[in-house]
Structure formats: C-alpha cells, structure tokens
Structure 1
Amino acid sequence: MSGGLFGVGSGEIILILLIILIVMGPERLPQIARIWGQALRFISKFSNTWNQMNTQLMRQIDEQAKPVTDALLLDE
C-alpha cells in the first residue's frame, strides 16, 4: 500500500473514523476532530523543524569535512 496518511489508505481512515464515531458518539466528534487537528499540526511543525535542523546540520558537517576531503584528494 502506498500514499495516504502515515501509510494508511483512505479506506482504513474511513474505517477508523467510523469506529471512533461508534465508540465515542457523535456528540464528542467535534472535540475529537479539534484534538486530532491540533496533534497533526504539532506533528507537522515538529517534522518541518526537524528537517530544517537536519539540513542545517548536514551543511555544517559538509563545511567541516570539506578541508579534510580536499586535503585527501590532493594527496592522491
């Protein structure tokens, strides 16, 4: 299976939502949706921050490694 949210297809998402609706009841659905939205926003922001930090760290590592790599290539 490919695509979807976290590798979960649209059919599975619908099934999960139906189970939540049955277990929690329709009166709590707006509250659950709000919490779910907040959690997804948090995860998205965390993921973006993580990717930015990772990219910055890799640039710094490349900058530090370049003189060593250049020196090794000159020795050959």
Structure 2
Amino acid sequence: MSTPEKEDTTVAPPSERSRWHWILLVAVVVPLIPFLYNHDEPRLFGFPAFYWIQLVFGVLSMAATTAVYQLTKGKR
C-alpha cells in the first residue's frame, strides 16, 4: 500500500512570488485616502456619499482579490 503524497504548503520565497500580488495594494490603500469619501454629497438613493463609497470600496477589494486569485492560481 502506498502512502499519499503530501501537498507542499510552504510559503514561496519572495523571489518566486507573483508580481500580480501588488494589485492587492489597491484594496488596502484606496480606502485609506479620506478625501475620497469624507463628504456628504452626492447622495445615492438618499444615502450620503460616505456610506455608498464604502460599499464601492468593498466591491473594489473583492474584484482585486478575485483578479489576483485568477491570475495566480496555476502558479503553485
């Protein structure tokens, strides 16, 4: 009876990491820029800009994460 092979779960050294991971900085840095959302107008369906822009940041983060995953999933 043969033993199942173990999957390599080690973290790749920095030289082998994909450059696509830099896209994830968009999801982190953009919400940290207060002048993008620190205002009341324009309103969308009665909601101040602060609230609906936070939802846009969530969608932006999801899109960036999905893009990086799709671009790097075959590189393991």
State TM-score, norm by structure 2: 0.40
Tell me which structure has the larger Cα radius of gyration: 1
Structure 1 or 2: more helix by fraction = 1
Greater RCO, 1 or 2 (C-alpha within 8 Å, sep 6+):
2
